[in-house]
């Protein structure tokens, strides 16, 4: 086993030495942004999209990322080599940095870039074969007027409260509704349902994170299948009466959902549409992993935009 190497404060260090100040506002207030990214066969999946989302999250929180997108890309590939991993989960964080007590970000002059690269613990294989169980959480997703859910911030307590509900009910995932009672997203995944070969997912305006896997799945449906795709608001009732339900996310990829609040969805087994999409998604990963040239990082522009 090679020792895990983590990038923190400008250096690659061992897991034991990867320490953060208790005065970092990431620790004190959950003030920071992050991305969860996958690498397959040594190539990072949709890195441009992840770096753009990180840049957007940072800009919307007036956080200046001290490294360019090109440098972050270089570091991620260096990290894969240092950790000798081809298939990996990459956690890229930018915390507000060290400051004083008191939440004013102006007292934190130096944001902290952290890169953790590890193997991934997915939902158990059985869940992919037989379908995942979920509950609808009582905890509502944060109202976008209070905290914009399109910002992937280090503050996940809203999602964690829903996850605790799932834990209490002995299932792996919870579906969260928005303040108006429409289906929003899960604690770390986006939601889709299928009815009569129409695939439906909530629009970003429902108050969701604009998932990169979600975007890939929408693209697959449009380009590779004869199914229709619709972004529209829906209630839990539509999930209960759906033919199929599935979740998407960087960690989960595409996972069939067969039981919600103990009610079976469709036949109670993973459905044909979901399985077809899983097949296309695997193809997409393969084709992008085997394409030779990563897209030019310059095209993304530089990170460090400050909104004021």
Q: Which residues bind ligand PXG (CB under 6 A)?
A: 36, 159, 185, 188-190, 209, 211-214, 248-251
Measured distance CA(174)–CA(125) in Å, rounded: 19
Least separation in angstroms between CB 275 and ligand PXG: 19
Least separation in angstroms between CB 191 and ligand PXG: 9
Q: Catalytic pick from 19, 126, 152, 230?
A: 152
CB 202 within 8 A of CB 231: yes
Least separation in angstroms between CB 105 and ligand PXG: 22
Q: Which two tokens stand for residue 285?
A: 């990963």
Give the gyration radius of the chain's Cα atoms.
Answer: 20
Measured distance CA(249)–CA(229) in Å, rounded: 18
In angstroms, what CA-CA distances link 145 with 11, 113, 149, 159? 38, 28, 9, 17
Measured distance CA(232)–CA(21) in Å, rounded: 43
Least separation in angstroms between CB 211 and ligand PXG: 3
Q: What are the two backbone dihedrals, phi and then psi, of residue 44, each rounded to the nearest 5 degrees? A: -85, 130
**Which of 33, 149, 43 has its CA nearest to residue 91?**
33
In sequence order, the 6+-apart residues with CB closer than 8 A to the CB of 279 are none
CB nearer ligand PXG, residue 55 or residue 213: 213
**Which of 186, 164, 211 has its CA nearest to residue 36?**
211
Q: Which two tokens stand for residue 305?
A: 């935009």
CB nearer ligand PXG, residue 252 or residue 273: 252
Least separation in angstroms between CB 250 and ligand PXG: 3
CB nearer ligand PXG, residue 108 or residue 186: 186
Active site residue 74: no
CB nearer ligand PXG, residue 69 or residue 108: 69
CB nearer ligand PXG, residue 32 or residue 249: 249
* Enzyme catalytic residues: 152
């Amino acid at each position: 086993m090679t020792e895990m190497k983590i990038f923190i404060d400008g250096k690659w260090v061992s897991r034991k030495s990867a320490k953060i100040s208790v005065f970092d506002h990431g620790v004190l207030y959950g003030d920071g942004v992050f991305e969860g990214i996958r690498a397959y066969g040594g190539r990072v999946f949709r890195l441009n999209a992840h770096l753009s989302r990180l840049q957007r999250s940072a800009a919307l929180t007036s956080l200046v990322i001290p490294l360019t997108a090109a440098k972050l890309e270089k570091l991620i590939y260096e990290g894969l080599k240092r950790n000798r991993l081809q298939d990996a989960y990459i956690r890229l964080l930018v915390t507000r940095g060290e400051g004083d007590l008191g939440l004013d970000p102006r007292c934190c002059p130096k944001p902290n870039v952290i890169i953790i690269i590890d193997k991934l613990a997915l939902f158990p294989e059985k869940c992919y074969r037989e379908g995942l169980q979920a509950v609808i959480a009582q905890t509502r997703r944060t109202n976008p007027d209070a905290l914009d859910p399109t910002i992937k911030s280090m503050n996940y307590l809203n999602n964690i409260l829903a996850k605790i509900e799932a834990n209490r009910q002995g299932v792996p995932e919870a579906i969260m509704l928005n303040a108006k009672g429409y289906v929003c997203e899960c604690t770390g995944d986006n939601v889709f349902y299928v009815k009569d070969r129409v695939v439906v997912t909530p629009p970003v305006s429902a108050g969701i994170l604009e998932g990169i896997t979600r975007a890939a799945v929408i693209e697959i449906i449009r380009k590779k299948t004869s199914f229709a795709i619709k972004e529209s608001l829906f209630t839990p009732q539509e999930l209960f009466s759906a033919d199929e339900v599935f979740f998407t996310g960087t960690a989960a990829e595409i996972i069939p959902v067969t039981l919600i609040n103990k009610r079976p969805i469709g036949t109670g087994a993973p459905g044909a549409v979901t399985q077809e999409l899983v097949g296309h998604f695997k193809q997409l990963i393969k084709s992008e992993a085997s394409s030779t040239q990563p897209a030019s990082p310059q095209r993304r522009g530089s990170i460090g935009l400050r909104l004021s």
